[in-house]
Amino acid sequence: MTTEPPPTDTSTSPALAGRVALVTGASRGIGRGIAERLVAAGASVVNGDITGPDEAVTGCRHMPLDVTDPTSVADTLHSISTVEGRLDIVVNNAGIMFEEPLDGHDLDAWHRMVAINLTGPFLVTRAATPLLARRGGSVVNVGSIEGYSANPGHVAYGATKGGVHGMTNAMAVDLGPSGIRVNAVAPGWIDTELNASFVDRHPDRDEVVRQLAVLHPVGHIGAPSDVGDVVTWLASDAARFVTGQVITVDGGRLAKPPLPPIMG
């Protein structure tokens, strides 16, 4: 049996008008790009970030949140329930990345990566489920192309991002009956502070940027708004029959196996 979608909205109201979204780690980078796109689509956004933004995004309320701390997570959800009174969209974006070779990998560093990148989305989604289930909702987890293939020294990062992809499937199965869709995006190289440090430490920054562009069939790296556009679609009713999916947002990088530079 199928259920008919609601009639097409022919008015000019934006796709997410009246919806409330929680985006973790939205003070900068990809999270900020996601928050800006959700606001542009009509949503009210709560930015749950461990630090406040240097400059506020209009339509975005900052709530101090440490995604690794269950008490902090509970406080954030309580605040949303009290202030906004509803929750329709959760974007689990907050994450960290560092390089550490497996040989001698520090155990505390491993636990920290897992706590932020993997346990964080679990804690936030678990706490948000009762509010999301009231009207049906959408969860979007931020994975990575490194859930599929890894750069050197990324044992912990790759493990957490592969875990995010697997957790997305499992959450979609568990939460579907409550009217909650769960999907993930797997960004490729996006221009944020997290990545800039890798580019900046090379003496010839322009050459790094040029060589990075060559890896991408579209000819350039991505911007936070590129991820924000896909998240906004996944959060909207246009994706009402999409759940349990990991959407790669990488300018085609994974589609192009690298050749030796001399043949590239």
Active site residues: 157
Please enumerate in sequence order all residues whose Cβ is within 8 A of that of 162, keeping only pairs 6 or more positions apart, or say none.
147, 148
By CB under 6 A, tell whether 193 contacts ligand NAP. Answer: yes
Q: Which element (helix H / strand E) includes 91?
A: strand 89-92
Which of 73, 180 has the CB closer to ligand NAP?
Answer: 73
Quote the crossing angle between the two packed helices 29-40 and 224-235, to the nearest 10°.
50
By CB under 6 A, tell whether 31 contacts ligand NAP. Answer: yes
The Cα–Cα gap between 10 and 123 comes to 38
For residue 72, give the 3-state DSSP assignment: helix
Chain centre distance of CA 64: 18
- Segment near ligand NAP (CB under 6 A); pick from 1-9, 22-30, 74-82, 205-213: 22-30
Q: Nearest distance from residue 72's CB to ligand NAP, in Å?
A: 8
Helix ranges (H only) for the chain are 29-40, 70-83, 107-114, 120-133, 155-175, 193-200, 205-214, 224-235
By CB under 6 A, tell whether 163 contacts ligand NAP. Answer: no
Quote the crossing angle between the two packed helices 120-133 and 70-83, to the nearest 10°.
30
Q: Nearest distance from residue 131's CB to ligand NAP, in Å?
A: 19
Which of 112, 237 has the CB closer to ligand NAP?
Answer: 112
Which of 178, 197 has the CB closer to ligand NAP?
Answer: 197
By CB under 6 A, tell whether 189 contacts ligand NAP. Answer: yes
Q: Nearest distance from residue 262's CB to ligand NAP, in Å?
A: 27
Positions that interact with ligand NAP (CB under 6 A): 24-25, 27-31, 49-51, 65-68, 93-97, 116, 142, 144, 187, 189-190, 192-195
